[in-house]
């Protein structure tokens, strides 16, 4: 049986193979499009790749095509909360008289043969590996099937990574923290009727400044009343398992305690000297910050989750603090910042970049040094 391969299909397959296997791009499913393939990689400067196999015969048709492409790009940008988005637009079937249009954030290239793609200055600038990529002009049925198999293997490998990250895991540390908080509250309710222990372990600027830094930690496990405890433990029960699943037990613990400590330092700096602060809410806001950071980097997988659920929850809780008396807003904000910075420092899944981790560590350490200095000189 003879198997004939269309030249354009061969070019499309080889370009697809390069971007999927060498540059970690993933297909984007967009309904209602014919003869177009969209790829995305939110970690690359060119976040979107569009391969258009439709025939464009004049400049007017090109303008209409560009308008459509930019509309789709804006929609993807909005859904992924990307501050900036650039696209490589590859046109595989254009008339000789069609002139390329210079458009902001869109690099458009005519590709009549693989050499047009491989030797293009824009492609070489953004994708240095293309210089050594095996992109032969030869159309070989055996190679055609091998390239397809390679892409399937890459896709399966990526799916396994995602399945491992998003798989259900028993939130042992979350439940342990809930138990400890409840036990501390019951002990205080039964054996500290005079409030002496609460006075000894609550967070307070004057005592912390005098050297009682343990209060920054112990205050995280104390609650004013049963309602305060119930609210925080319910929030921990809802948020904690997600963070523990995404980051793992050790990283979850680091996020929780570092966020709580930074939140306590913020309380010392911004609350009045005679105020006392207790509760796990700083650490819990840190967990919210860590989920926001995680969903931002996996926004292509969790489309809409960040701006439809995570951000509104954070804003709603911060707004509540403005209207409910005796809420430690400074502790909440400090915990939120701590959660984001700690998540940045420890990295996330297969998205972690060494540069981001180093920056996260530096900023987090500087933040602790600065806030400690502010406590001392206040």
pLDDT at 279: 92
**Among 11-15, 129-133, 346-350, 364-368, which range has the highest average pLDDT?**
364-368
**CATH domain 170-377 topology:** Rhomboid-like fold (1.20.1540)
- The residue extents of the domains of the chain are 7-165, 170-377
Q: How far apart are the first and last CA of the chain?
A: 84
| Alpha helices (runs of H) in the chain, residue ranges in sequence order | 7-22, 59-79, 114-118, 121-126, 141-166, 172-191, 196-201, 205-209, 215-218, 226-247, 249-270, 281-297, 305, 311-323, 329-346, 354-377
pLDDT at 16: 86
Q: Which residue has the higher pLDDT, 174 or 142?
A: 174
From the candidates 267, 277, 330, 332, which is the catalytic residue?
Answer: 332
From the candidates 82, 259, 277, 281, which is the catalytic residue?
Answer: 281
Average pLDDT of the chain is 85
- What's the pLDDT tens digit per position in 22-45? 888 888 877 777 888 898 888 888
- In the DSSP assignment, the letter for residue 193 is T
**Among 95-104, 120-129, 180-189, which range has the highest average pLDDT?**
180-189
| Cβ–Cβ < 8 Å for 51, 90 | yes
Active site residue 332: yes
d(CA 373, CA 378): 8
142 falls in which pLDDT band (50, 70, 90)?
low
Residue 307 has pLDDT above 60, yes or no: no
Question: In the predicted model, what is the mean pLDDT of residues 76-98?
Answer: 84
| Cβ–Cβ < 8 Å for 119, 81 | no
- What's the pLDDT tens digit per position in 335-349? 999 999 999 999 876
Share of the chain above pLDDT 90, in %: 38
């Amino acid at each position: 049986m003879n198997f004939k391969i269309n030249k354009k299909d061969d070019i499309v397959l080889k370009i697809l193979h390069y971007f999927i296997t060498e540059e970690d791009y993933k297909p984007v499913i967009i309904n209602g499009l014919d003869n177009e393939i969209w790829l995305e990689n939110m970690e690359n400067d060119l976040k979107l790749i569009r391969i258009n196999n439709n025939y464009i015969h004049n400049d007017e048709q090109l303008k209409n095509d560009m308008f459509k492409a930019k509309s789709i790009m804006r929609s993807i940008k909005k859904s992924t909360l990307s501050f900036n988005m650039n696209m490589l637009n590859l046109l595989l079937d254009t008339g000789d008289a069609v002139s390329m249009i210079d458009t902001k954030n869109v690099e458009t290239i005519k590709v009549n043969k693989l050499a047009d793609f491989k030797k293009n200055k824009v492609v070489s600038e953004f994708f240095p590996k293309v210089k050594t990529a095996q992109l032969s002009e030869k159309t070989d049925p055996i190679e055609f099937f091998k390239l397809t198999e390679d892409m399937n293997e890459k896709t399966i490998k990526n799916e396994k990574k995602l399945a491992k990250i998003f798989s259900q895991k028993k939130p042992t540390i979350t439940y342990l923290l809930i138990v400890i908080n409840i036990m501390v509250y019951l002990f205080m309710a039964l054996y500290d009727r005079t409030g002496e222990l609460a006075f000894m372990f609550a967070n307070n600027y004057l005592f912390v400044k005098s050297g009682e830094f343990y209060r920054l930690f112990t205050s995280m496990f104390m609650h004013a009343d049963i309602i305060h405890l119930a609210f925080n433990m319910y929030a921990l029960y809802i948020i904690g398992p997600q963070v523990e699943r995404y980051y793992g037990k050790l990283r979850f613990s680091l996020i929780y305690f570092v966020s709580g400590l930074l939140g306590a330092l913020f309380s010392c700096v911004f609350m009045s000297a005679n105020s006392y602060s207790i509760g796990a809410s700083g650490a819990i806001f840190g967990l919210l910050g860590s989920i926001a950071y995680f969903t931002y980097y996996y926004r292509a997988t969790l489309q809409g989750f960040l701006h439809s659920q995570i951000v509104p929850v954070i804003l709603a809780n911060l707004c509540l603090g403005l209207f409910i008396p005796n809420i430690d807003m400074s502790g909440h904000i400090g915990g939120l910042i701590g959660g984001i910075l700690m998540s940045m420092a420890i990295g996330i899944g297969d998205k972690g970049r060494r540069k981001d981790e180093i920056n996260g560590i530096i900023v987090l350490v500087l933040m602790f040094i600065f806030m400690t200095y502010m406590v001392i000189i206040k």
